[in-house]
Chains A and B, each alone.
Chain A
Amino acid sequence: MNRELILKIKEDFANDIISFVEDRDMPVFVIRREALLRFVTFLKECAEVKMEQVTDITAVDWFKKREERFEVVYHFYSYTFNHRLRLKVNLFENDAKVPTITEIFSGANWFERECYDMYGIIFLNHPDLRRILLYPEFVGHPLRKDYPIDKRQPLVKLRRPEESRERP
């Protein structure tokens, strides 16, 4: 992304951008949650930015390191201009909700489901917010830092406890 374009985005969204870093691989914007949909729509529709693909959506758990525990991270890519952009939204633990962007990028659907599955972040107005990788009986969200690292939730009756190394 060239400099002028970044400056233009920064001016247009001056009130919504919390911080900005020109990282070594792509520019990184941290924005307010309320402006997320507007910003993403802009990224897709602006003729000079023209982000056509959402490459990834994931989250980071800053357990006990930050006041705002979760950080949802979006990556966008433009085929036309071959440039990328990273977008972050910070969330508090007791309000880990963010509006879905499936209306704008339908490819976001499964990414958001995965993010919900692993981190328990709620994507408001998502058409089908179910677990995608784990089974429905699973309790909790395993990539949260406070999920015990070796806590397993078997679906079938086990012949021996998993912790024991004794063969039955």
Chain B
Amino acid sequence: MGDEELLKGAVITSRLDESIKFFDKLLNWARKYSLFQYPFATACCAMEYMTTMGPRYDLGRFGAEVPRFSPRQSDLLWVVGTVSHKLAPVLLRVYEQMCEPKWVISYGVCASSGGFYNNYATVQGIDCIIPVDIYIPGCPPRPEQVLDALMLLQKKIDCEKADWRFSRKKRDE
């Protein structure tokens, strides 16, 4: 009798665990194939981004085909091009307006490290301002690199725990 009850409990607990894992997996699977992107395009890299979005390379194959021009409707921020210090508050604001879960891709060397602009105007990498998930090198990057970055991001999303994102630390902590 007692044993049976214990067994019952154990089965239920492990089912719960399993179901949570299953839920995580399902959620991640859904998230990684429906990335709504916000292109924060500021410079020449934007041209290459357009190519990647176009029919030849077709980002839509990876479930990231809809650009949203409102940060409130998107969960993937592409920072495409040079970001100057005058623009930095705008970028920060756009980032803060996006709802969790959110991811950031830094597109091109300018966004990743300031590139060759070591001068009075340019931010030396947008990770000075916001957290970044994937960096894409290149000036500008080839579309293949961008597709690779997107696939890397999908892998990263796949490994996430659903609640990890919600308990994520604030930017300044």
Contacts and interface: CB of A to CB of B under 8 A. Distances in A.
A35 interface: no
Interface stretch (B21-29, B123-131, B138-146): B123-131
Interface in A43-71: none
A150 B116 CA distance: 12
Which label, helix, strand, loop or mixed, suits the secondary structure of the A interface? loop
Nearest to B91: A156
Interface string A127-166: 0000001110000001000010111111111111011010
Contacts of A167: 127
A7 B85 CA distance: 49
B118 to A, nearest CB: 5
Contacts of B127: 159-160, 167-168
A156 B120 contact: no
B67 to A, nearest CB: 25
Contacts of B118: 149-150
Contact of B88 (A134, A155, A160, A168): A155
Nearest to B85: A154
Given A149-B119, A163-B124, A155 B172 contact: no
Contacts of A150: 118-120
B124 A162 contact: yes
A91 to B, nearest CB: 23
A147 B120 contact: yes
B9 interface: no
Nearest to A151: B120
A159 B114 CA distance: 15
Q: Which of A151, A162, A165 has the most CB of B within 10 A?
A: A162
Given A134-B86, A135-B86, A159-B171, A152 B120 contact: yes
15 contacts: A134-B86, A142-B121, A151-B120, A152-B124, A154-B128, A155-B88, A155-B89, A156-B89, A159-B127, A159-B128, A159-B171, A162-B124, A162-B128, A167-B127, A168-B131
Q: Lowest 6 CB-CB distances: which A-B pairs, in order?
A: A162-B124, A142-B120, A158-B128, A135-B86, A156-B88, A150-B118
Interface of A: 133-135, 142, 147, 149-160, 162-163, 165, 167-168
